[in-house]
Structure 1
């Protein structure tokens, strides 16, 4: 497939559901896309906040119970690009990619499994979360990443959160996640501390109120990961 398999342009109205698909071998002739691609560049008037009352807010769309392979030239399994907002992503088994937010807001990711996102490294994609260009009052607000599982293959750096600064934190809400890193490595959460980029341990990261309830453990074998995916997809609705 030359480009994305599923594309949602400008999220028109919202209230879309993308579920129970297996998508792979996309973006073979282009780049900077993914198996599922979304953007919100053009606002529309809708009635999402109150019936019959125009609003620029849209209904939430749902992406759940998909198996997504981020191979070939894909950047992210679910490429929420260019202002994407009002999405709930859950129970997806995503291989070779993590979560993306670029200039968007109001997205929740929960109960996802991300497998080896660090095997793809284009434009900072090789992490569990890439939160790009957040700006107070414009983008990056109301982003939620909770109760997810992310298994890193080589890296021990789970997040790429642009402009992270402990003196003025503006990051997604992070909690109760399970992060797995290679054995004999130490997790490193990258953020500015006192004006200097620092590599924080889990305890240090959590001391700022971030990722409360999150654990970091050594990565399991691939058979275990596949079993986790099978159980998630078969035993949840």
Structure 2
């Protein structure tokens, strides 16, 4: 049923150490959120896992919070996943908007202040896959990966730090943001990426925006970001101009109204980047 009494609600999973899971089942996670309301996963340590550490299985109701966790050594025995993985493959009826009245309304969920290592076979630290929508991701320190949207919409990423995402290269990874398969009317709309910091290790290409075409722009809203690239190199924003693939400078890119307020600078040393993470994750809310 769609009513509040028939699903888990206001579940708190806090201050646990979870590791060496998946002995018998690889398609598993220490935390699986499915057909549930308002689940909070706070202050946990998760590592040595065959697949995701946290998997949000659907878009039922929402209002979940994933915060102040440390996750590493995930996706060790599978692939195409991340420490945090989300799906939203079908609509659900709930009475989330008005008690007793079914609707497709979905509350926003929040992922913030996590330390995420995208090592082993992980594709993205926060893998928003298969139609995921209505998320706000903020103040996460993400190592070896960037942002992903695949067939979803209505997600905001702000004040994130992405470190060396270009050390990964599978399925369009290796960039600060990958916006995959946007389709007008069903996906790709209301995607926002602002006030983020991304440090590239060797690449000068920060984005992988599928179907980018300046004559008919349908890309995330990008603004006020800080992108760092190796010294003595020039950034390249890849997009089609009048049907021809081009590598654009920051000035050319911004001339189309994109990434206003964004700056590109030479990458600092790793000690500086680590200190950024310490400062951010010490912040209280």
| TM-score normalised over the length of structure 1 | 0.98
Match of residue 203, structure 2, among 140, 145, 155: 155
The corresponding residue for 2:5 is none
Report the count of equivalent residues: 237
Q: Specify the SS of the correspondent of 1:167.
A: helix
Q: What secondary structure, in the 3-state scheme, does the structure 2 residue paired with 1:204 have?
A: helix
Runs of 5+ unmatched residues, structure 1:
none
Q: Paired residue for 1:13, among 61, 78, 95?
A: 61
- Paired position in structure 1 for 2:33: none
Counterpart-to-counterpart distance in 1, 2:277 and 2:152: 28
Aligned equivalent of 2:144:
96
Offset at 1:42?
1.6
Structure with the greater alpha carbon radius of gyration = 2
Maintained 8 Å contact 1:109/1:146:
yes
Structure 2 unaligned blocks of 5 or more: 1-48
Residue 181 of structure 1 is matched in structure 2 by: 229
1:169 is matched with 217
State the Cα distance separating 1:55 from its structure 2 match.
2.6
The 2-side partners of 1:59 and 1:153 are apart by 36
Q: Tell me, yes or no, if structure 1 residue 120 matches structure 2 residue 168.
A: yes
Hey, what's the Cα distance between the residues in 1 that align with 2:173 and 2:264? 20
Residue 50 of structure 1, CA deviation: 5.0
Deviations 1:203-228 (A, max 9, x none): 11111110000000000000000000
Task: Name the SS of the counterpart of 1:198 in structure 2.
Answer: strand
Determine the C-alpha separation between the residues in 2 that align with 1:23 and 1:105: 25
Q: Are 1:84 and 2:139 matched, yes or no?
A: no
State the match for 1:30 in structure 2: 78
Write the deviation string for residues 124-167 of structure 1: whole angstroms up to 9, x where unpaired. Answer: 10000000000100100000000000000000000000000000
Contact 1:47 1:58 in 2 (8 A): no
Q: Partners in 1 of 2:215 and 2:102 — Cα distance?
A: 38
1:50 and 1:202 map into 2 onto residues whose CA distance is 46
Q: Which stretch has the larger CA shift, 41-50 or 62-71?
A: 41-50
CA contact (8 A) 2:128 2:149 kept: yes
